[in-house]
Each structure stands twice: as C-alpha cells, then as structure tokens.
Amino acid sequence: MRGADPSSPNPSPVLPKSLTSQGELVRTLKTEKAVKADIDAAVKLLLKLKADYKQVTGQDYKAGCPPLESTVLEDTGPAAAVDGEDMVDPWNVSTTSAKGVDYDKLIVRFGSSKVDQELVDRIERVSGKKPHRFLRRGIFFSHRDMHQVLDAYEKNKSFYLYTGRGPSSEAMHVGHLIPFIFTKWLQDTFDIPLVIQLTDDEKYLWKDLSLEDCHRYAVENAKDIIACGFDVNKTFIFSDLDYMGASPDFYRNVVKIQKHVTFNQVKGIFGFGDSDCIGKIAFPAIQAAPSFSNSFPQIFKGRKDIQCLIPCAIDQDPYFRMTRDVAPRIGYPKPALLHSTFFPALQGAQTKMSASDANSSIFLTDTPKQIKNKVNKHAFSGGKDTIEEHRKYGGNPDVDVSFMYLTFFLEDDEQLDKIRQDYASGALLTGELKKRLIDTLQPMITAHQERRKQVTEEMVLKFMTPRPLDFNF
C-alpha cells in the first residue's frame, strides 16, 4: 500500500491537484528558463492530464474552476499512475505489461529527461572512461540536470553524490545493489565525495518495527554497502536516528524544508491520508536534506553551493521532485538525478524485486544452491512450452527474467547480444539461459559475501563517524 489511507472519504468535488500542480510546474519551468526538453515533457504531460480530465468530466479544464457536476477525479498525485496501467511510487511498483514498466511514458509523466546516446557519449568524453554497462544498456535511463553537472565539472567545479537505503530488514536483495554499484562507478570515475543516508527513521514510521531493530538493520545494511567497495576516505554513511541529533546543520535544513512544503503538497506527491501518522508527513524533508551540501559542514566546510547528484531507482523521484521545488526558495542549488529502471522480481517484470517476498528475490545472503533453485524454479521464462516449439519459434528475451538479469550483470556486450540472438532464434534453450544466469550470479554473490565478511565493526564505525573526507572545499 501507499502512504494514503484508502478508507479516507473523498473530499467534496475538487479540482484534480495533479493538474493544478502540473500547470504550476510548467509555469515554473518557463519562468526559470529550464531546458527545452524539460519544458516540452512537462507540457506534454499537462495536455495528457487535461485530456484525461475531459474524458472523465466531459468538460474542458479551466484553471481555478471546479467541474460543474460533482465529479471527483481521484487525485493520486504525480507519483502514481495517470493512465491506470503502471504504478510507480516509493512504496509500490506494478504494471500489467510482462515487459515491465513503460519507462518512456514515465519520463513524460515525471517530467524528467531521457538518458540518450548523446548524454552517454558526453559522460564518456568528460570522464575519459568507458560508460558503465548500466549506462550503455539504458538501465540508468532518466535524469534531471545531468548536463548542468557535466558543464560545471568541465569548468573544474566539483559535485558530490548522495544516495540511500531504507533499512527494513537485515538482508538486502540484488535489486538494492543496483544504485550502489553505479554510485561506486561514479565515485571512482569522477573522484568525488559520497554521502549515504540510512533512513532507519523512515522504516520505523512505515513498518511495524522497533527503533532498535531499524537502527540495527541500518548498521547491518551499511556492511553490505561498504562491501560494494566504497572508499572510507571519500564516503560518509549515516543513520538518520544518529545524525539528526548530532548535526545542528542537518536539522536546520530539515526545518527549512518543512517550512516550505505544505500538507497539501505532500498529500499530492505521496498520497498521505488523514490517518497517516504525522511522522510520515514530516519525513520527506529528512530525505531531502542531504541534497544540500551545508547539511554536512564537516565535509563541505559550511558551503551551500556544492551541486549534488543523486543516483537511485525512479521510485525515489517523488522525494526529489519535492526537493527540487523547494531548493531555489531556500537559496540552494537543485539536486541533479540519475534514475534507474527496476531490477524485476523473479516472477516477472510486472513488479520490482521485493525484500518482503523471499521467492521473488535473490538475497545477498543466498547460498549458491539457493540461487540455483530460485532461478530454476521461479525465474519467469520467455521460452516456449516444448523443446520442439522453442527450437522452431524461438524464445522472447524481452519478457524473460533470466535474460533481463543478465542485462544487469553480464559485463560483455557481445556475449549478451549473442545470448539474445540465440534465445530469440531458438538455438539457446531456457534451461541453458538459466544456467548462464546462475553461473553469473553465484560467483558475484559469493564474492560479495566474502567482501562483507572482511567488513569489521571498526570499519563501520569509521564510515559512520561524521568527519572530514579527503577533499578540499
């Protein structure tokens, strides 16, 4: 479920807030002379919302005028589905399509920009490094203001990375690794500071867990994150429960943000309802605060103008749309974003991998045997029912979960392409494709477990201690 209370009664006839806020977004983008592609995307969505409005009410939308009859449009806010098909927000990801969420539509709906070949080439030019496979294969598919980050970087202006994890259990799944693997590549490539927020407070507010458990999970998850290979001299990992109390500067930013977001706005963005606890309503400001460099005076020496870049999956975007809306009003630069697609559940791309369903996920704690069994038993196949049919008609890699997983983890582009062709032609059988995946995942997870074993309590403490990093600001 989303944060909204489904049992809350509908309000009296209201204008759909998503339409109003989209109109406001278009006006803001135009006044701020945003890039044309962003304005065009926002206008396109506005037109679509107007068309939807007309379809439901039978009337043209007029700003400020409620519909004549008591027609109530469900206001799901911009985070949720407009077309009744794909649902994407920080708590839910689902679609009816076996190929997964329609990410091109999502770009239009969320008003972000596509990571196109031109941007990938530019990242290669500016960094002098071969783009990560997640960029080459469209896994990080959407962005906000990435060109601005690169413009500044070319003029020797540094930036920093911010990402995070909501520690809801001890075990993380492979999907959670995606942003961290990519963040590590960005840190190595651009040689910049990184802050990682562990929202143990968020999980306490949303789940039936004790504060102690949430904090313990934060520390346990930090070990998995550290095992991704981050450099302790360039990385600060923090638990909200610890850092909120320890850093006056961080908390000052939280209240500034809270002062500039109304209850109506968070309701519109996150779908909060009357019976959601007030902690949830105030929480988005806490996820927003690390986007501003003066939340970390020990790293940035009080500077508030260091640009932030946030790599995450697209489900977290609602938080950062809110953050970007607030930033200029409190005198800070807007954070830039790079969004990834979702690593799908074993059962198919209709939903993302979820920690609450053991059979939907490969966990970082799984043994080689468990990995083999899960893939063989649960990975949705795009193959045909019999070997004869498969050889004759070929399989469908676009809906095949094993193939999808290989696009995330098999490094070699040529090998991946050959697997796609062979599977589509019928030369490669489902069992053989699954074996390729098992052979890729088993050593990857075992190596992760080995690295995690090397992470000591002292190392965790060091990563999680507020301190200067190896950068001069």
Out of 38, 202, 213, 366, which residue is the one contacting ligand TYM (CB under 6 A)? 202
Q: How far is CA 207 from the centre of its chain?
A: 20
First to last CA, the chain: 43
Out of 132, 133, 144, 176, which residue is the one contacting ligand TYM (CB under 6 A)? 176
**DSSP string for 245-270:** HH-HHHHHHHHHHHHTS-HHHHHHHH
Asked if residue 360 binds ligand TYM (CB under 6 A), the reply is: no
Residue nearest to ligand TYM (CB): 166
Asked if residue 348 binds ligand TYM (CB under 6 A), the reply is: no
**96-123 burial by CB neighbour count: b if 16+ within 10 A, else e?**
eebebbebebbbbbbbbbbbeeebbebb
Amino acid identity at 255: V
The nearest distance, CB 458 to ligand TYM, in angstroms, is 25
Contact status, residue 269 vs residue 121, Cβ threshold 8 Å: no
Q: Which residues inside 271-290 make contact with ligand TYM, applying CB under 6 A?
A: 287
Residue range at the interface with ligand TYM (CB under 6 A); choices 68-76, 81-89, 172-180, 413-421:
172-180
Out of 165, 334, 372, 374, which residue is the one contacting ligand TYM (CB under 6 A)? 165
Asked if residue 352 binds ligand TYM (CB under 6 A), the reply is: yes
361 vs 355: CA distance, rounded Å: 7
Contact status, residue 19 vs residue 268, Cβ threshold 8 Å: no
**Choice between 106 and 310, CB closer to ligand TYM:** 310
Site string for ligand TYM, 34-53 (x = CB under 6 A): --------------------
Asked if residue 236 binds ligand TYM (CB under 6 A), the reply is: no
**Choice between 26 and 269, CB closer to ligand TYM:** 269
Asked if residue 343 binds ligand TYM (CB under 6 A), the reply is: yes
Out of 183, 340, 350, 430, which residue is the one contacting ligand TYM (CB under 6 A)? 340
Asked if residue 89 binds ligand TYM (CB under 6 A), the reply is: no
**Choice between 316 and 430, CB closer to ligand TYM:** 316
Amino acid identity at 74: E
Closest CA to 202 of 174, 236, 239: 239
User: In DSSP terms, which residues pair with 351 in a beta bridge?
Assistant: 94
**Choice between 44 and 207, CB closer to ligand TYM:** 207
**Choice between 87 and 353, CB closer to ligand TYM:** 353
Asked if residue 325 binds ligand TYM (CB under 6 A), the reply is: no
**Directed axis angle between helix 17-31 and helix 263-270, to 10°?**
100
What are 406's two structure tokens?
A: 């290989």
Out of 149, 338, 353, 460, which residue is the one contacting ligand TYM (CB under 6 A)? 353
What residues contact residue 261 under an 8 Å CB cut-off, 6+ apart?
Answer: 284, 285, 322, 325, 326
The nearest distance, CB 150 to ligand TYM, in angstroms, is 20
Residue written as token pair 């790079």: 338
Point out which residues bind ligand TYM (CB under 6 A): 162-166, 175-176, 178-179, 197, 199, 202, 287, 310, 312-313, 315-316, 340, 342-343, 352-353
